[in-house]
Structures are given as C-alpha cells and as structure tokens.
Structure 1
Amino acid sequence: MNQKRIYLYPFFILLSIFIIDKLVCIPQFREAGRRAYKSGQNVLIGLPKVWEEDKKKQSENTKVIVVAGTSRSDIFHEWENIPVNKNTYPFPTYFETRSSIKASEYFLFYLMTKSMIDSDFKPDVLFLEFSEEMLNENNIFSYKSKWQELMLHEDELIDIFPAFNFKFQREILMRLAFVSYNYHFSPIQGISNLIKGKTANDDTYFIALASYLNKKRPFDPKFVGIEIDNFTPQEYKDRIIDYSESQRERLLPNYAFSETEYIFLKKIIQLAEEHNIPMVIWEPQVHPYYNQLRKSITGGNLFESLGPNLVSVNSKNIRLISLNKGNTNCKTFLDSSHVSPICVPEIADKLLQTAKEIPNYK
C-alpha cells in the first residue's frame, strides 16, 4: 500500500506545479507573487506616462522630438531648453530625453518604440542613435543583460520570438508554457501577499526611478569637458587612453556582430515605416583616439556598410547621418567616448536639417 502511495508522489507534485502555474494566470495572484521589477522593466512601465505628457505638449502646438540612444545621446538630457536655430526649425520645440537610456541597446529601444505606438503617440521626429558597440553580441549591456531584467507578457514574447537565436527561443517557449516561470513566481510570497492584500513591493524603487526620468540635469559650465588640443598629459591618459581601454573591455570584448540586435534595429525601422514616424538615424562623434581603437576591433564603417540595407533611398520616413566624419565644429570632449554637452545645439541643428529631407516630415 505504501509503495502505491510513493508511486503517486510524482503525480501529485506535477499536479501541484500545474495548478500553481495556472493560478498565476489570475492577475491578482500573479501580482502578489511575482518577482519585483528590475530597472529595464521599470523603464517600460514608466514610459506610457511619458508619452501621455508628450501628447499633451503636442496638443499645445509644441513639436516633440524623441531622443533614443545610449549615454552618447544622454547629453541631450543636460539641457533644460536646447536652443534651436529658427531657420532650421521655426516651431516651439521640446526634446524628450527621458527616452535616452545609458547602457542600452536595440532590444530595449524596440520595446520602447512599441510602447510609443501602443500609447498612440507619434513624435514629430525620432532621433535614433547608431553606435557600433550596440551591435556587439558580447557587449556586457547587450540584449542578454536586458532580457534578465524583463518579464514580458505573452503577446510580447510571441512578437520578439523570431528575432532571437535558438537558445533564447527555447527560453521564450519555456516562459510561454509555464507562466509562473516567466514571472519568477513565488507561491509562498503570493499566498502571503494575497492574504494581506499586498502586491510585489516595487513602489520605493519605481518612485526613485521616475524622479530620475522626469528631471533634466542642466550641466555645470565648470565641467563641460576639454578642448581636443588642451588635454594635459595626465588628463589625456585618464580621459582618453584609460577610458578607451575601459570601453574596449566593457563594450567591445570579443567583438562579434549581433544578428539579434541587428534584427531589432530593422524592426524599429519597420515600425517607423509602417506608422509614418519621421526618424533620423545618426552616428555620434567620438574622440579620434577611440575611433581608431574601435575601428581596429569592428572593422569600422558599419554605419556606411549597413545603412543601404537598413533604409531605402526612397524611404518617405527615414534618413541617416554620421557626425563622426569630421563634419562638426565640436572639439570639446568629456572623455574619449563622449562629446561635451555644449555641442548639443549644433548636433540638434544638424539632425533637424537632416530631418527636413524626410518627405513625411512636417
């Protein structure tokens, strides 16, 4: 008799797992027992509120330009009001810079663009950064790191499935098959919180993040960087040579072209074309020393070689421009990878001039 009971144990264990997994489909139970949101998820949760604020600005006859990119685009965030050349763009203009996320990549920006469209928000122009580091499969900030932070819903998982390699597709199938696994569900936490009428505790962290997202950071004129020919030997070593080495170790280790990131970049472009979103894809300027180091690793000129395959010359919504060809007056750098915030007005002007070439640009 006891032996028969032992044989039934695996059945009861599997039945319990099945029941708990299906209970997670109940929103109240899922919210009580899921894992706390991490930074990438909090950004995606906070963005719909950002888009609503931007739609309100548009209703007040202000043009909204969304800036999406890494820390090289984040310098836009250091201007409360970016002076725009009226000959280039004669309208009241607001630059939405909360969409620039340091240490980010195209997987996150695809989800961000989807969020924008799902919120029925269409920017007047979208500035999307192109940096070669974002296409490194082994970049420590690639889609692999963002994937660990996210708990996407089933429709989102199905949408991104074709973009991933077999390893991540297998992971997505597991998440689709077992909802509790997707949400990192804890039965004990779920039951406890459900009894207490609580949900997973994210409030403190999200409020802190929302505060960061909503506040622009006017730069201190005393710390605007150094002119390219005015670095002292020690400053050059610290800010150019050593910083370039740190970038190589973090962003360019074992460089391998990421088909996954490339697919997400193409999916962003596809969304812009389908929804008639005027978009400028631009390559930021970096210091010549780092530019040569990066080129020796990646082969360089990815922007020029990939551009024709990414965007049709007859596109009515998208144009491309590189600002890394010695075609700016900006000679001031924070370090080897970032120009000074004082260069932002010129950058904005060049990107807006490029936007004017877009047929659907208004």
Structure 2
Amino acid sequence: MNQKRIYLYPFFIILIVFLIDKLVCIPELREAGRRAYKSGQNVLIGLPKVWEEDKKLQSENTKVVVVTGTSRSDIFHEWEKIPVNPSTYTGPIYFETRSSIKASEYFLFYLMIQSMTKAGFKPDVLFLEFSEEMLNENNVFSYKSKWQELMLHEDELIDIYPTFNFKYQREILAKLFFVSYNYHFSPTQGVSNWIKGKTANDDTYFIALASYLNKKRPLDTKNVGIELDNFTPKEYKDRIIDYSESQRELLLTKYTFSETEYGFLKKIIQHAEEHNIPTVLWEPQVHPYYNQLRKSITGGNLLETLGRPLVNPNSKNIRLISLNKGNTNCKTFVDSSHVSPICVPEIADKLLQIAKEIPNFK
C-alpha cells in the first residue's frame, strides 16, 4: 500500500505545480510576481498611446505616414516637421517616427504593426524599411534578442508560432502551457507584493517609455555629415572603413539567411494586404564602400530577389523601391551605413511619389 502511494507522489507534485501555475492567471497576482518589463516590452506597451495620437491627427484631416525601420529610418526623427514638396503632395501631413527602433528586426516590426491594427488605427501610408542585415540569422540584433525581452499574450504566441523554427516553437508551447514561465513569475516576490498591494518593479518601464515617447529631435546642422567626395583620409578611415567593419561584425557576421525574419516580413506584407494598408517597402541608401562589402557577403539585390516575390504585381496596397539604385541626389553621409538627416526631405518626397502609385493611397 505504501509502495503504491510512493508511485503517486510524482503525480501529486505535478498536479500541485500545475495548480500553482494556474494561479498566475489571476491578473493581480501575475502583476505582483512577474519580471519587470524590458526595452522590447516597453516599446509595445507605449504604442497604443502613439496610435491614439495619430488617430486624433487623422480626425483633424492630417495625413499620417508611419515610418517603421531601424536607425536608417530613425533619421526621419531628426525633423520636427519635414518639408514636403507641394508638387508631390499638398495638405497637412505628419510623419510618425516613433515606430522606428534602432537595431531592430522584422519580428518586432510585425508585433508593432499588429498593435496598430488592434488599436483601430490605419495609417494613410506605411514606409517599411528593407535592409539586408535584418535577414541575417546571426545578426546580433535578430529576433533572438527581442524574444528574450518579451512576455506576449496567448493570442500573440499562437499567431507567431508557425513562423518560428522548432526550437522556439517548443518555447512557445511551454509559455502557453505554463503561464508562470511566460511571465518569469517569482512566487516569493508575487506573494510578498500581493500582500503589500504592489506590482513588479517598473522603474525601467517608465524610463524607457519616457525616452520612447519623446518629441522629435530638431535637426542639428553641426552634425549633418560629409559629402561623398569630401572625406579627409582620417574621416574616411574612421567613418567609412572602420565603421563598415563594425557593422560587418555586428550585423553581417556568419551571414545565414533567416527563414524566421523573412517569415515575419512575409506576415507584415500579408497584414498590409489584408487590412488595405498602403505600404512602401523601401531600401535605404548606404555608402558605396559599405554597399560593396555587404554585397560580397549577402550577394546583394535582396529587395528584388526576396522582397518582390512577396508582393503581388497587381497589388493595390504595396510598392517597392531601392534608394541604392541612384534614385536620390543626396550624397551626404554620417557614416558608411547612414545618409545624413539633411537627405530626409528628398527621401520623403521620393517615397511619397511612389505612394501615389498605390491605388488605395488617397
């Protein structure tokens, strides 16, 4: 009889663990014992306020362009008001740049665009950045780093499950079956904070959110970069050669095509089509030196070979353009990977011209 009871002990332990885990479903307890939010989570939490502000602008007859991308798109944030060529577009227009996140990837962009739709906001046009570095499985800033920062809801986990590889699918299943694992729940912290009526320490949340929701930076004319042919030998070495090497080590090391990141780019395109979001998928211009270095690693021209197959030629919502094809006159660079902020008006004008070709852009 005693032997039979011993055999049942593991089942009792599993049952107790399972029941304790289900207690974490109680929102108050979960908030008391979960891990404090990290930067990726803070971004997603801050977005609903951003979309509400944008909806208010639209209600006042202002067109809203959402700029989503990495530091190459972040240069849009350097302008409090981007001058738009009247021959391209007349009327009030606002460029929403708070959805540009330095050193980011398509996984986070997909979650951001999902939050936009969930909030009931549809931009008049979306400028979605395409950069070859984001398709490197071994990019230091790939989905792997953001995944560790996020605590996603069950519906979000189920949605992204098919796009991930087997390793991360197993993690998603673990997060779905065990809520405490998903929220990095600490029982001691949870009980202590619940008794005291406190929640998890969110100091990092407020710091990150305050930074994320900041006002646009005024253009600093002292740091607008250098013309293509005007670099001194030292500037060329520091800003072009050495910076290209640092980019190669961070973003292009052991370059392997990422099925996961490409999968999320595909989901973004599908989402834009399903929700009739006018979208310009654009490739930012980089310095010729870095462009050749990158091409020697990736093969180059990935916007055409990988991006274009995702877009129906008869799409009423999406168009593509590479600014590495001599489509702009601006030849001023901050470094090998980024054009100067003074190029932004011309870039915005060019992308708006492409947007005007989209049937659903009004």
Please indicate, yes or no, whether the TM-score normalized by the shorter chain is above 0.5: yes
Q: State how far apart, in whole Å, the 2-side matches of 1:191 and 1:289 are.
A: 57
> Secondary structure of 1:85's match?
coil
- Residue 68 of structure 1 aligns to which amino acid in structure 2? T
Partner of 1:114: 114
Give deviations 1:179-236, integer Å, cap 9, x for gaps. 111111000000000000011111x322222222232111310111111111111111
1:273-288 residue pairs with structure 2 within 5 A? 273-288=273-288
Does structure 2 conserve the Cα–Cα contact (< 8 Å) formed by 1:280 and 1:320? yes
- Residue 310 of structure 2 aligns to which amino acid in structure 1? L
Q: State how far apart, in whole Å, the 1-side matches of 2:162 and 2:307 are.
A: 22
Give deviations 1:79-107, integer Å, cap 9, x for gaps. 00000011111020110000000011100
Q: State how far apart, in whole Å, the 2-side matches of 1:119 and 1:149 are.
A: 22
Give deviations 1:248-288, integer Å, cap 9, x for gaps. 00000110111111111011011111111100000000000
1:201-220 residue pairs with structure 2 within 5 A? 201-202=201-202, 204-214=203-213, 215-220=215-220
Q: State how far apart, in whole Å, the 2-side matches of 1:117 and 1:72 are.
A: 24
Partner of 1:58: 58
Partner of 1:137: 137
Partner of 2:249: 249
- Residue 67 of structure 2 aligns to which amino acid in structure 1? V
> Secondary structure of 1:334's match?
strand
Shift of 1:12: 4.6
> Secondary structure of 2:303's match?
helix
Partner of 1:224: 224
- Residue 159 of structure 2 aligns to which amino acid in structure 1? D
Partner of 1:322: 322
Q: State how far apart, in whole Å, the 2-side matches of 1:212 and 1:172 are.
A: 30
Q: Give the gaps of 5 or more residues in structure 1.
A: none
Shift of 1:59: 0.5
Partner of 2:174: 174
Shift of 1:319: 0.4
> Secondary structure of 1:297's match?
helix
> Secondary structure of 2:346's match?
helix
TM-score in terms of structure 1 length = 0.97
Partner of 2:312: 312
Does structure 1 conserve the Cα–Cα contact (< 8 Å) formed by 2:290 and 2:336? yes
> Secondary structure of 1:321's match?
strand
Does structure 1 conserve the Cα–Cα contact (< 8 Å) formed by 2:65 and 2:127? yes
Give deviations 1:316-356, integer Å, cap 9, x for gaps. 00000110112211111000000000000000000000000
Q: State how far apart, in whole Å, the 1-side matches of 2:358 and 2:200 are.
A: 46
Shift of 1:35: 0.7
Q: State how far apart, in whole Å, the 2-side matches of 1:220 and 1:44 are.
A: 29
Shift of 1:7: 6.1
> Secondary structure of 1:104's match?
coil
- Residue 319 of structure 1 aligns to which amino acid in structure 2? R
Q: Give the gaps of 5 or more residues in structure 2.
A: none
Partner of 1:342: 342
Q: State how far apart, in whole Å, the 1-side matches of 2:6 and 2:315 are.
A: 67
Shift of 1:9: 5.3
Q: State how far apart, in whole Å, the 1-side matches of 2:307 and 2:176 are.
A: 35
Q: State how far apart, in whole Å, the 1-side matches of 2:83 and 2:34 are.
A: 45
> Secondary structure of 2:72's match?
coil
Does structure 2 conserve the Cα–Cα contact (< 8 Å) formed by 1:20 and 1:187? no
Q: State how far apart, in whole Å, the 1-side matches of 2:355 and 2:328 are.
A: 17
> Secondary structure of 2:161's match?
helix
Q: State how far apart, in whole Å, the 2-side matches of 1:270 and 1:183 are.
A: 29
> Secondary structure of 2:335's match?
coil
Give deviations 1:134-154, integer Å, cap 9, x for gaps. 100100101111100101011
> Secondary structure of 2:148's match?
helix
Does structure 2 conserve the Cα–Cα contact (< 8 Å) formed by 1:163 and 1:263? yes
Q: State how far apart, in whole Å, the 2-side matches of 1:53 and 1:296 are.
A: 43
- Residue 123 of structure 1 aligns to which amino acid in structure 2? P
> Secondary structure of 1:72's match?
helix
> Secondary structure of 1:45's match?
helix
1:87-102 residue pairs with structure 2 within 5 A? 87-102=87-102
Does structure 1 conserve the Cα–Cα contact (< 8 Å) formed by 2:36 and 2:204? no
Q: Which stretch shifts more, 320-329 or 94-103?
A: 320-329
Shift of 1:38: 0.6
- Pairing 1:266–2:266 present: yes
TM-score in terms of structure 2 length = 0.97
Q: State how far apart, in whole Å, the 2-side matches of 1:133 and 1:33 are.
A: 37
Q: State how far apart, in whole Å, the 1-side matches of 2:358 and 2:15 are.
A: 58
Q: State how far apart, in whole Å, the 1-side matches of 2:232 and 2:258 are.
A: 38
Give deviations 1:162-188, integer Å, cap 9, x for gaps. 001111111111111111111110000
